[in-house]
Structure formats: C-alpha cells, structure tokens
Structure 1
C-alpha cells in the first residue's frame, strides 16, 4: 500500500484464477474508502483481456443501432449521450454501452465481457459482503455492467453524485492506458472541500474505488483532438453500478451526507472524551 497524496492511496493486488486478490484485507480497503479516500487497486487483470473487451464492445456497437429512446434498464444497449442527465442533472458527452441483460448476449461476446466483469463483480461482493449475481430484478437493486468510451476531442461527464446505498463503493476499471491510448481526461472527486484528480495516476488495469456518495466528474478530453463518434480512440473504462433504477434517486443537495456523517462522528467522539 502506498500513499500517493493526502486522499489518494494505491493498493497492489494479484489476479489469481480469475479473482482480484488485494495485498491488504477487503475490510481495510473499505475502511480507507469510507474515511473517505480514493483507493486505486492495481488489479493485475491481463491487458489482453481488457483490450478484448474494448474491441468486442466496439464491434458490437457497430452492428447494433444506437438507442435513441429513454433507458428501460432491462436490455443491452449503447447510446451516444449528449445531454443533461435526468437523474444526476449533470452534462454528459460520452458513448455508453450498458449490459443490464448481460446473460442474454451472444456466447462469444458475453464470455469476453465476463472475463472482466466477473472478477469485478466478485471483487465488489468481497468488498461489500454481498453475494450478488447478474440478472434483472425489478423492484430490487441489480447490476448494470457498463463499458464507457470517452472519445478524444472534448468528451466528459459533469459533476454529480449518487446515493451511498446499496452501492457503497464505486468501481472504475481502466481498460486502456493513459499516455498511450489517450492523453487527457480522468475522474475527479471532492473530499473535505479538496479537489482530487486521478488523471495520470490510474494505469491500465487499475480500479478506482470511491465512496459512492462523493461528488465526482470526468474531466474533458483535450479539444486539441477532433471529436468523432466513429473513432474508437480515447479513454475506455468498465464500471459496475448496483442499484434499483426505479428506487430513490440521489438527493438534490451535495455532498450526500458523508461530510455530515463525519462531523456527527467527530462531535460524538468529542462528547465521549
């Protein structure tokens, strides 16, 4: 484990029989996440598996028409998002591939995705103490596997936040390499009124973990490049949200309670002393 900055921690891990095994206990990782700190886990997932996810997702998106209707959260779709998000009320410009019905995908593509998403699911389960499987469960939380492409030339995701539960910890897996495959754009956070940028810190195969109610965003890719929806160049990440899309959305006011929670804990400790 290494402290990269006041709020940024790096943790090594090994990839053993399809499972991400960190150098410190899962409970310790969650303690760091809840302090809160941003934890970057070097997953050890082989780069060729990550590259296969990018290439197969891009190929799939070229065969399947992009969705232009409101999300139903019960299918496999991709969408060129260029709007103000209805739930988060944040501006967006990126290409989103969402696999709510991942088990219904064609065999080879499904297996390619699961070589990465199954380890990510198991890792999240180990962190949170759950035993969740894939599958749509209306009226209950379930997984929404996503592969997100931030094209060169100005793609981004504006500042937003989520309810803490039931996700607890957000996961962002880098599918390609900063400085080689893209040169700008990364995820930023606010902790104790301090801006934490992870651009340049997250390498290919690294998983960013963060307390899910922290305000965060994706910084724009450089406008020095020309934007093109039909070019796969740019930043690619895999994320694994777990939520009920018809449940309670995030509160309007940020930050989601983590700061009040910390203040309340500090006041309680002061009284106890």
Structure 2
C-alpha cells in the first residue's frame, strides 16, 4: 500500500481462484475509502480477459440495435448517450453497454463478461458485507453491470453524484491502458474541497474505489483527436452499480455526504460532553 498523490492510495492485490484478494484486509480498504480517499486496487485480472471483454462487447453491439427509448433496466442494451441529465443537469457523451439481463446472453459472451464481473461482484460483497448475486429483482436493489466506452475526440461525463446507499463504494475497472489506447480523460473527484484527478494513475486492470456520494466526473478526451462512435480507440471501463431503478433518485442539490455526517457526529459528541 502506498500514497500515490494527495487522497490517492494504491493497494496491491492478486486474483486467487477468481477472488480479488487485497494486500490489506477488506475492512481496511473500506476504512480508507470512507476517510475518504480514492483507492486504486491492482486487481491482478489478466490483461487478456480485459481485452476479451472489449472485443466481445463490440461484437455484441455490432449485432444489437442501439437503444433509443427510456431505459427499462430489465434487458441488455447499448446506447450512445448524448444529453443532459434532467435532475443533476450533468452533460454526458459516451457509449454505454448495460447488461442487466447478463445471465440471458449467449454462453460464450456471458462467460467472457463473468470472467471480469464475477471478481468485481465478489470484491464488492467482501467490502460491503453483502452476498448479492446477478439477476433482476424488481422492487429491490440489484446489479447493473456496465461496459462503457469514452471515444477519443471529446467524450466525457459531467460532474454528478449518487446516494451513498445501497452502493456504498463505487468501482471503476480499467479495461485498457492509459498512454497506449488513450492519452486523455480520467475520473475526477472532490475531497475536502480539493480536486482529485486520477488521469494517469490508473493502469489496465486497476480498479478505482470511491465513496459513492463524492461528487465526480469523467474529464473530456482530447479534442485534438477526431471523434467517431465507430472507432474503438479511447478509454474503456467496466463498472458495477447496485441500486433499485425505481427507488429514490439522487438529490437535485449536490450532497455534502461524508462532510455533513462528520459535522453531525462532532456536534453530537460535543453535546454529549456537556
């Protein structure tokens, strides 16, 4: 474990029988996330499995029509997102592939995705004390596995935020290599009114962990490159959200999250001491 920059901590791990095992206890990893810090875990997932996810996703998308209507959260779809979120007013431009019904995919592609998403799922369960499986559970939270492509030439995701629960910890796994497949664009955060940019700190196979209520964004890829939805170049990541699509959405006003909780805890401690 080492501090790579202010509020950025890198943790080594290895993949043992499909389980991501960090060099420090899972409880310690969560403590670091909640302080808060941005924790970058070197998962040990082989590069060939990560590359296969990109290739498999592109092949699947080539045979699957683009989704145009509102998300239903009960299927497998891909969408070229180019709009401004109504509640948070967060602009976005990226190609999203969402596999809510991943277990219904053909066996080969499903296995390709599970080679990556199963270790992520197990890691999240170990961090949060849950034992969740993949599958759609209407009326309750469930996993929404996503493979996201940020093409060269200006793709981005504006500053936004999420409720802390039930996700607790966000996870962003790098499927390709900064400095090779892309040279600009990374996820940024606000911690203690300090801007934390992770561009250049995350390598292929590294997974960023962050407290889920931290304001964050994806910085634009360089406009020096020509934008194309069809060009596979650019940043590829897999993420594993866990939420109830029909539950309470994120608040319109940006939350203070951990900061307010810390202030409330201090106030309660002071009152108890009087």
TM-score by length of structure 1 reads: 0.98
1:164 touches 1:256 (CA, 8 Å); kept in 2?
no
Distance 1:3 1:268 in 2: 32
2:88 touches 2:253 (CA, 8 Å); kept in 1?
no
Distance 2:163 2:112 in 1: 30
Aligned to 1:19: 19
Aligned to 1:29: 29
Structure 2: 5+ residue stretches without partners:
none
Distance 2:11 2:95 in 1: 29
Distance 1:175 1:86 in 2: 29
Aligned to 2:174: 174
Compute the RMSD of aligned alpha carbons. Answer: 1.1
SS at match of 1:247: coil
Distance 1:49 1:153 in 2: 27
SS at match of 1:235: strand
Distance 2:45 2:219 in 1: 25
SS at match of 2:237: strand
Cα deviation digits, residues 137-170 of structure 1 (max 9, x gap): 1110000000000000000000000000000000
Correspondence 1:86 to 2:69: no
Shift of 1:259: 1.2
1:174 touches 1:206 (CA, 8 Å); kept in 2?
yes
Structure 1: 5+ residue stretches without partners:
none
SS at match of 1:171: strand
Distance 2:49 2:86 in 1: 33
Distance 2:81 2:7 in 1: 31
Aligned to 2:163: 163
Shift of 1:270: 4.8
1:178 touches 1:202 (CA, 8 Å); kept in 2?
yes
Shift of 1:252: 1.6
2:88 touches 2:251 (CA, 8 Å); kept in 1?
no
Matches within 5 A, 1:1-273: 1-270=1-270
Distance 1:241 1:193 in 2: 25
Distance 1:257 1:40 in 2: 21
Shift of 1:251: 1.3
Cα deviation digits, residues 174-223 of structure 1 (max 9, x gap): 00000001000000000111100000000000000000000000000000
SS at match of 1:178: coil
Distance 1:272 1:188 in 2: 38
